[in-house]
Structure formats: structure tokens, C-alpha cells
Chain A
């Protein structure tokens, strides 16, 4: 057990190392003089140019630059934007809660919708209930979230006038107002995830329902409901957890688009703003942060899996 965890942590470190290296080398990939690109739209003065040059340490070898950048990053210093003057780590700190809220709401909603749909599909496999729910899931899977979001806005903001579609309110400034603004973006994010999760739950349940212990439970005369919830859903919840981890990356990608569409001041919108200004250090900082979160979350899911399921521990 301890060896498994240790091994996984080693792999995490190696991956993080590679991910940071790749993101860092992005700046070196820039065509032309990096100073030109980094300063881009900033007010250029010879002093600023000199500062950028010494900050980047372009005269030093690449690996040495990477080393000092990594060292600073580990201490929470991702540099500051030359265009807005804002500290990148502060920008991230301000924006994380917003994105986290959206992602969290989306995952909860997706699971709450997916589990019943998946169970229904497995239990009524091949019957009309299964056909209808599978078709609905296919459709939900094929409509990109920004399209869903626009039609939500059209229905709930334009036609019905129930929900506002911009002017984000933080939870601390009014929980209900915040909820009214978060519900549409979160649902748009949740639908795609829901489709993926419910396909998994269905396939998983169908496999579990053929296990001998389910047969034994039936022989004991336990009710369908009890078997489905207690015997069949439990093992499926493990794979559900894994796929939530794997899909977290897609979800983060989704928040970029959805936040931009609803003008929500989260990490994703921050990234798009930075890209439109070609604010390289901010782009770099957000990318490295998001990738790190994603890698760490997947490691945690993996480890939890090992802790919960003794069968994996042994192999």
C-alpha cells in the first residue's frame, strides 16, 4: 500500500516537472525577439525593456532560466504582467474561487442527473426507456456547451426574463443573486459531463448486474431497488469517480468558453483576456496552474481508488 502511494507520488512529481518544463519552453517557442512579444501592447520604455531582459535572463542558458523560474513558481511567484502590472499569482488567487464554484456546481449537477439516467438505462436495457434515454444522452453529448448556453440565454434571459446573463455577483455579495447568475453557465457545463457519466454508469451497471453476487442477492429475495442501490451502484461509483477526474480537464476547458460567454471573472475568462492582449506571462501562469491542478486531482482520484478498492491494491 505504502509502496503504491509512493510510486504514484513519484510519477506525479515527474509529470509535474515535465508539464512545467513544457509550459516554460512556450516562451522560447515564440517567434522573433521574446522581449518584443512580451511587451506587445505595453507602454514601452528603454528601462522596461531592460527590466524584461533581466527578468527573463535571456543571456543565461535555458536550463538555468527554467530552474530559477521553477524555484520562483514554487514560492508562489509567477511574475507580473508587463501589460497590466498585476501579479500573476494574485490574479489567479482572485479568479480561482469563481471557476471552482462553476466546476463544482457542474459536477454535482452532472452526477445527480447521470446516475438515475444510467441506472434506468441499465435496468431497462433494450426497452424503450433505454432507447429514449440513450438517444437523449447522445444528443447532449453532441451539442457543444456554448451552443447550449446561448439557447439557455435565449429562453431564460431574453424570452422569459427570469435569469440575468451577465454582471457576475460573488457569493459574498448575495448568495441568491450569485446562484441566479451561476445556474445557466453551470448547467450548460453539466450537460456534456452528464452525458459522459451516464453512459459510463449504464455500461458499468450492465456489467455489474451479471455478477454472481447480484444473482445471490436476488436469490435471497432482496428487492430490485435494494440490489440496484446497495449492490450495483457501489462498485460503479468507483469508475464514476475516475471519469470525473479524467473529465475534469474537459470541464476546465469548458469553463474557458462559458466564462467568456457570460463574462464571468474566472480563470478561463482571464486566460482569454490575456490571450487577446498576448500577455504571455499571464497565459503561462494560468496554463501551468490549471495543468497542475488537473494532474494533482487525477493523482488524488487514483490514490483514493487504491484506498477504497482493495482489489487494486494487491495487483
Chain B
């Protein structure tokens, strides 16, 4: 019935389109706030250069934003196209934050972004500044609602199964909104966006400084990025820890895989700083471990045991067997809704029903599953260890590197010595791609760590897909691949062109490549163009 090839291709399509979308999102989240900060300084001091900064970084923001919007279209409809059963099964809950995102956040961001670009001469200074803040608030509010939706997939609160409609239904809207998994994710994700934008501005400003052009413009941009970046980089790590704490509560399997915890240790467990996970032999080689640390971080206690994969498998086996009874009882109830015995069985086992559905990969009638099938389902229920283990370590290492970079940049900008630290400027320049690496592997940790589920403990991934053939999914995947590649080439071409051009692209006449060419102060700017109408 379900084409297994289509499941893999649909997953690949989701991964590619979501990760691609998330190339553009973090920069939007952070750059909007940096623009608001720059414009605030402009409004408070009246210095023209801050207006030019807002406009120039705003231009780069616009190039990025256009693709963010484009790729967001895909995400809004992909649940319906490739994940139709998921959409039916959980749309009652999952659809709500998506629709609210449109009404509450995306309309605000998108309407105001037009005024941000084109309203400079038509709004008062404070009026335009307000618009810039609304763009920032709108984009960050979008992130809240998307992460409420995603948080529910990680930790499905406020919902229960309805046998009449054969789907999950909402029992509490507020539980959904105030899901702890969503809250921790939100702060962690938006802070990582602020870091991304700060590294972006810091790196490009450093390049101007290295080239010795538009110095005044670059210095001021550097300082703002250094300060905002330091605060954000600290917040990512602190709230990353909060996010990790939420993981231990809700997804012990993800934590065990992320940390390569093959066996359960006595509390508090040690933290593996480095190791090479060996999935075949269920052990880590060349392990470097700090005793006690993981247990203390993850449970915030010294005596709570963190289950390793060995112990989790015991629980999973019980839940899968119990879930199979629930699935069987539900099928009996569908044929005869007055079957009292089935009603009782279903009520007793329904919390494990999702685990029973894991067996559907191997047999239609899960009540007849063999011990061998159960063992395979148990094995499926542990996410792949090596990719999670490595992704997580790359993310954390980069997170710490950002703190060091911004701490030095901030200190140097306080001492006013950064222009002469060419190594720092080069570091900042070559580090531009790193926030993207960190945010991409961050999503891999979050989403691969949720496998084999789309909704943890409720709906397995392999049941969530549409009834499409693998050929159909392959064809749409090829389409996305071609269009996304073309668009990325155009985007990078423009981004490099305008970053190289620098503030000269504003046509004010006062920057490096313009009439006053070679004049590097850049503080001079042409008078503001008057209203045309």
C-alpha cells in the first residue's frame, strides 16, 4: 500500500526543502533586529551614516528575504502534497499554529517590509523606525508559531485520539501554545538567527576594513554586530542548554543517541566530549569523558538516572507490545463499536497506540507481529546514533567558537583596536559560512533525533506520507532541485555583487566607488531625496 521508496524520497524532499528554507530564515530573523538597532541610532543621533547603514544592510536583507519568502511557499503546502496522512491525522492540532502564523505574524512582516523598503520618503523618522521594528517583531513572531508547531511534533501535548474521526484532536489550545519544548526551541532558534546575522555583518564589515574602504561605515557596522553578536551567542548556548533539558524530559531516545549512551550509567552520567560511535558493536571508540557532567546538565540533579539505549529498548519493547493491542482493539471497534472487550482494551492501551503503529512497517495485522518484528521495531525506535552524535558536537563546538569570536571582537571594539588586528578581521570574514553550518546541523539534530516519528510517540514517519508512487515524489524532488539551484545561483550572484559594491550601491555619491572615489571616510552623504509626488 505504502511505497517504501516514496517514504524515503518524501523525507529527502522535506529535508532538502526545509534545510534550504533555513538558509534564509536565520539571516532574516537577526538582520531585521540589527536594522532596527542601526535605525534607532539614526533616529536618536540624526547621523546620516546610520541611515545609510540601515539602507545598505537592508538591501542585502532584501536579497535574502526574497528567497526566504519563495522557499516558505513550499513549506506551507508540502504537508499536504507529500504528507497527506500526517495532515489528516494531526491537522486538527498542527494546522492551527500554521494558520495563526499567517494571520498574526506573516501578514505583519510582509506588509511592513514593503514600507521598510519604499516608505523612507513617505514616513516620518519615527514612523519608519516603527515599521522596521514591526518587521523584526513580525518575523520573530513567525518563528514562535512555527516552533509551536514543531514543538508539538517533538512533545505532543494537549491532544488525544478520536476513534470516530480517526485522527488526533486538540484538547487544549493553551497546552499547545505553552508547550515547554516549543518555548525552549524558540529562544534557541531566534538567538541562533541573531548570531548568524551578526557574523554576516561582522564578516563583511571586516572585509571593508581589510580593503581599507568605507572605513567609517564599516567600523560602525562592526561595533554594532560585535555587541549584538556577543549577547546572542551567549543566549544561544544558555538556551541551548534549556532546549537540551526539554529534550531529556520528552525525548530520551534523542538524548541517548545524541550522546552515544549505549549503556545506562549510574547517576550522574558522564559527558562524552569526544568519541567515535560504532553502531555495529554498540560502543564508542577513543572516548574522552568528563565524569558526572551530563547527568548534572540534563537532569539538574545528582541522583536521577539517565537511561541509556539498553534500558530504553526494554521500555520500548513493552510499549510496542502494548500499542499493538490498542491498534488491534481499534480495528475491532471499527467493525463493531459496541464490542465491550475491545473498548476496555483500547482504553487500557491507547497511550501506547503510536508505538503499536511502528509495527505497520512489517505487518498489516500488528496483533500477529512476531517477536522478530517487535525486535526490528524496537531497533527502529532508536534514532541513528552516529549522525546525531557528530551533528550535535559540530553545533556545540561552533556555538562556543562564536562566543570566543564575539568576545574578542567586542573587547577590541571597546578598546578601539580592531582595525589593526588583521587576524581578527580575517577570522570574522572566513567565519561567515559557519553560522549556517551550525544552524543546519542544529536542525538535523532536532529532526533526525525525532525519528522514526513525525509526531513523537503518536505517528510513525513511514505512515505519514501521501499515497504517491516513488516516481511521482522523485519527479517533484527533481523539480525542486532544479529551481532551487537556479535561484540559489541568482541569489549568491547578487549577494556577492552588492556586498562587494558596499554602500556605494545606495547611490548617495559619498562612498568608495562613487564620484568621490577613494574617499574612505564615507560619513558624507547626499541630501535625502525629496518626495516625488
Q: A and B: real partners?
A: no
